[in-house]
Structure 1
Amino acid sequence: MDKRKVGPFEVSAIGLGCMSLSSGYGPPAPREQAEQVLKGALDAGYTFFDTAAVYGMGHNETLIGEVLKDHRNEIVLASKCGLTNGDRREINGRPEVLKATCEASLKRLQTEVIDLYYLHRWDKRVPIEESVGALAELVAEGKIKAIGLSEVSAPTLRRAHAVHPIAALQTEYSPWTRNPEIAVLDACREIGAAFVAFSPVGRGFLAGGARNPQAFAEDDIRKAMPRFQGEAFAANLKLFDAFAAIARDAGCTPAQLCLAWLLQKDEIIVPIPGTTRPDHMRENAGAAEVRLSPDIVARLEATVNVGTVAGERYSAQLQASVDTEIA
């Protein structure tokens, strides 16, 4: 797979988002299946693996630590803090909490150092400078190598970067979520940070894997997202049919169309699709070989955009927990 830069690291152009192996879209994947995804990803050329303390409340980090510990030197490992406090989910950016989270993550991941460590959410009760200052101390102590931020605005990114270089900013970006185009992509270019795109296939919708919300598991986070509800979902389903037709004309799958579109947007972008299925993992890797013509790109952007997608990205409650510009 082609390579891209994330801070001091060279990583596969497409990374593996590991959350869904443990939480988010239903119960954890069976252990054997999760191992097939993770070890198969190594064979498919993935070198960038993304997890977090909050995914399954430690389950995901433990899984990755156990499955990939013998391959630690072959991968760039990213994790996150700031969304847990001990054994409970909580946005908490106090320095002592971030440091304790890091210690626990190092043990679960069975590693002496985390390559890229993100502040998962900015705790607005704590100045961003204090939270990033704590992460800078972890760098100085040799427990993490580089600092990232997740779901923050361009002004917050600049404030953080003034304290310590920020290697990457992570937020949602796909053909149907274009908020990064408002300001944070430009801010990343300005400071030399990579942009890591999570949910790059629209939480499965733009891959064709979410055609019936009634079939979602009870703990599926999409149940609370307006785009997957009622009239909005029905409207978006019609939009997907047009999107799938563009993918057929491009000679790729809908998921590959999303990922190839992101890769061609800018070399600073690294998508990290997640999946519980080995075949989807390999399909996503294949997007690195897809080249889209200007006509295909124009059709895609005319079909799926801020004006054509029905429903907000997050509910009002979830939106209040992030610090991003709204399209």
Structure 2
Amino acid sequence: MQRRIADWQGLAIGLGCMNLSHAYGTPPDPADAGELLLRAHELGVRHFDTAALYGFGRNEELVGKVLKPLRGEIFLASKCGMTGVDGKRVIDGRPETLTATLEEALRRLQTDHIDLYYLHRWDKSVPIEDSVGTMARMVEQGKIGAIGLSEVSADTLRKAHSVHPVAAVQTEYSLWTRNPEIALLDTCRELGTALVAFSPLARGFLAGSVTDPEALEPRDIRRNMPRFQSPHFAVNCRLRDGFRELAAEAGCTMSQLALRWLLERDPCVIPIPGTRSLAHLEENLATASVGVSEDILMTASRLIGPNTVSGPRYGAATQAEIDTEDYV
């Protein structure tokens, strides 16, 4: 099963590299992280997704070092517009900042071009047309191949697309985060824009890997997400129990059922699950060979969705930073 972004076509499932350096507590040893990146390539992954924010540059350095010998074989994606400054996360979409971030990314990734470059967050103090106009000049200079946006609404996508074609929108999309179905998915389909789905396994929840949020490391970002907090977590666990039974009926793992459901939503959808486990990597990539009936997929949709999942995906402060449509 293959999917397309702009002129590139490859395996329908990519690899999100964030958690090899960022967000979920103590990162793995760089040697282990490098082994996972190489194993992903061996298994057919060509789409690798990183960002300036991840590890405040360390993830780009990791990906650049490990995959440099394979650079001609991979589709490399990174992001600007949200970086680490003096140890803090900063959203900055000013043209001069985006330009500087690109130069830093090229150096860290050890390449002269990035195949897909996203605006990681829309800086609402800067017109989207200005940020995308700067990125269009990056395309003209040959430093990036295509433009992407992350966590934006259908309306913002249209505004950006009027300045320069937007090859991909990256947003959270899974059984338990269905916001793209409000308007963004239809707009991506209309414009020929790929929808790259991050956290397709609900930040590990649908893989069954989070059973006690209190056991997560202090710096794990899930600790601050309402769905992993009381009283929401207990409600969501009851949904997961039913999902586990459904996966058993389908003859696959929960992760595979969640990914298969996503792949069947639309040909423009490309999941990029992240993992630190070689076993989980192999499990995820085996999804393409898993057959799941339409009845089971429909049952999964009814079981886990906007009408059943408890809690918003972000707290109020983070939600205010993003531009995605939300269920009322």
User: Is 2:131 the partner of 1:136?
Assistant: no
Given the two structures, how large is their TM-score scaled by the length of structure 2?
0.98
Does the 8 A contact of 1:33 with 1:277 survive in 2? no
Shift of 1:120: 0.2
After superposition, the C-alpha distances for 1:110-153 in whole angstroms (9 at most, x for unaligned) are 00000000000000000000000000010011100000000000
Q: Which residue number in structure 2 is paired with residue 125 of structure 1?
A: 125
Pairing 1:267-306 to 2, within 5 Å after superposition: 267-306=267-306
Q: Which residue number in structure 1 is paired with residue 319 of structure 2?
A: 319
Q: Which residue number in structure 1 is paired with residue 229 of structure 2?
A: 229
Pairing 1:159-308 to 2, within 5 Å after superposition: 159-308=159-308
Distance 2:225 2:75 in 1: 31
Pairing 1:67-146 to 2, within 5 Å after superposition: 67-84=66-83, 88-146=88-146
Which letter maps to 1:120? H
Question: Unaligned stretches of 5+ in structure 1?
Answer: none
Shift of 1:32: 2.0
Shift of 1:269: 0.4
Runs of 4+ in 1 over 3 A off after TM superposition: 85-88
Shift of 1:102: 0.3
Distance 1:44 1:246 in 2: 27
Given the two structures, how large is their TM-score scaled by the length of structure 1?
0.98
Does the 8 A contact of 1:85 with 1:97 survive in 2? no
Which letter maps to 2:301? E
Aligned residue-pair number: 326
Does the 8 A contact of 1:86 with 1:101 survive in 2? no
Q: Secondary structure at the match of 2:169?
A: strand
Q: Secondary structure at the match of 2:61?
A: helix
| Identity over aligned pairs, percent | 56
Moved more, 4-13 or 265-274: 4-13
Distance 1:288 1:118 in 2: 26
Distance 2:215 2:32 in 1: 21
Shift of 1:299: 1.0
Which letter maps to 2:37? L
Which letter maps to 1:106? L
Distance 1:47 1:12 in 2: 7
Question: Unaligned stretches of 5+ in structure 2?
Answer: none
**RMSD (CA atoms):** 0.9
Shift of 1:98: 0.3
Q: Secondary structure at the match of 1:295?
A: helix
Shift of 1:86: 5.4
After superposition, the C-alpha distances for 1:173-202 in whole angstroms (9 at most, x for unaligned) are 000000000000011011110000000000
Distance 2:85 2:145 in 1: 23
Which letter maps to 2:53? V
Distance 1:148 1:314 in 2: 22
Q: Which residue number in structure 1 is paired with residue 46 of structure 2?
A: 47
